[in-house]
Amino acid sequence: MRFIYLSIVGFILFCCIGCVSKKEKETIAKVDALIEVREFEKALNLLTTGIHETPESKSLHRRRITLFLKADRVDLAVSAYREFVRVLSKGKSTIEDAVLRDALRDKDPMIRGNAARALSTINDPDAFSSIAKLLKDSENEVRRSAVYALGDLKDDRAVDPLIEALKDSWWFVRSDAAQALGRLRNPKAVAPLFLLLDDADPQVQHASTNALLTLVKQNKPEEYIAQLKSPNAKHVEVATFALATIRHRNAIPQLLEYLTTGRAEIRPLAMRVIGQIQDSNTTAVVRQGLQDKDPAVRHEAIIALVELQDTGSIDMLKGIANKAGEDQVIRQLAARAADRLLKIVPTVKP
């Protein structure tokens, strides 16, 4: 009798499981049909209803995560993934990471690329090798997403693959690889990034410049100092201004040279960073800048004198503030600069 009872219960459970499985398959079939016509919202609503009815259904959870990836909603895909882990793993492990790693091999390039970004968002340390493989993907956007994801992983193992990505055929990948290397702040990237300054695309040049300006702050300026002797003018220029951001004295001779021989657009910048380095030996040159024919250089010279706290230039600044024919903005700036410097002049007791 007991055997018969257990058999009946088992049969009922089997039927229920079968019914649920069949319902899940029907839901997924409807969802796929909606995706075909790009009705993402309807498909998501259908999945949400199905998950509410069967919250521990792996297939529905997986389909929902994949759909968010396909719809380019990575943040929601990550939230759905975390819900998936919480419900099915009870928060005890992350064995369900496979749902995102599987997506890295999806036939849809949008899903592959977004899966890489999602994995970097959840800081999965084991995702590195899987994401790095996407740097060889045939789709441009997938390689770009992989580069971005590697930069977000904050894993030094990503440095070498990203350096290799600086040679990618698509300029967007090269640009993003440069930015990613800047975020990783590994000095190993300095030399390859200097080479990228000669890239044919101006956006790539700009990205590599920004990365180099970031990397110099890692307190390893030797390669930048070496570039000051380069025959390549771009390399010298970036090295100079990178060193100036850390107030390195080696940048001063080149900056002074730019004040006399540099391009029109670079001379004001050279004057600005000379002030930021705050070397008292440059005071005389900065004062001369108050008489420069370029108003932009005069403007930066005034700011530089304040940076240098040159109280000896107060009378000169007052003269500019009252000078007929001088640009009104410069006159006002000179007046404010003189007032600021007066406040730091030591008070002489009678």
DSSP secondary structure string for all residues of 175-198: HHHHHHHHHHT-GGGHHHHHHHTT
Q: Which residues in the chain land under pLDDT 50?
A: 2-20, 93, 348-350
Task: Give the start-to-end residue ranges of the domains of the chain.
Answer: 16-154
* Residue 206 phi, psi dihedral angles, 5° rounding: -65, -45
Structure confidence at residue 242 (pLDDT)? 95
Task: Give the list of residues 6+ apart from residue 225 with CB closer than 8 angstroms, or none.
Answer: 239, 243, 248, 250
Neighbours of 221 (CB within 10 A): 21
Residue 127 · residue 119 · CB < 8 Å = yes
Q: Could you tell me which of 222, 200, 198, 223 has the C-alpha nearest to residue 209?
A: 198
Structure confidence at residue 90 (pLDDT)? 63
Task: Give the list of residues 6+ apart from residue 201 with CB closer than 8 angstroms, or none.
Answer: 171, 174, 175
Structure confidence at residue 296 (pLDDT)? 96
HSE-up of 237 (CA within 13 Å, CB side)?
20
- What CATH number matches the domain at 16-154, 3.40.50.2000, 1.10.287.110, 1.25.40.10, 1.10.10.10? 1.25.40.10
Structure confidence at residue 94 (pLDDT)? 52
Q: In whole angstroms, how far apart are CA 293 and each of 260, 268, 299, 316?
A: 12, 11, 11, 16
Structure confidence at residue 4 (pLDDT)? 46
Q: Which residue has the tokens 């300054």?
A: 197
In the chain the first and final C-alpha atoms are separated, in Å, by 116
The DSSP letter of residue 200 is S
Q: In whole angstroms, how far apart are CA 37 and each of 30, 31, 34, 40, 41?
A: 11, 10, 5, 8, 11
Q: How far apart are CA 226 and CA 235, in angstroms?
A: 10
Q: How far apart are CA 44 and CA 79, in angstroms?
A: 14
Q: In whole angstroms, how far apart are CA 300 and each of 173, 244, 283, 318?
A: 36, 15, 13, 16
Structure confidence at residue 350 (pLDDT)? 44
Which token pair is 245? 């951001």
Q: How far apart are CA 10 and CA 4, in angstroms?
A: 10
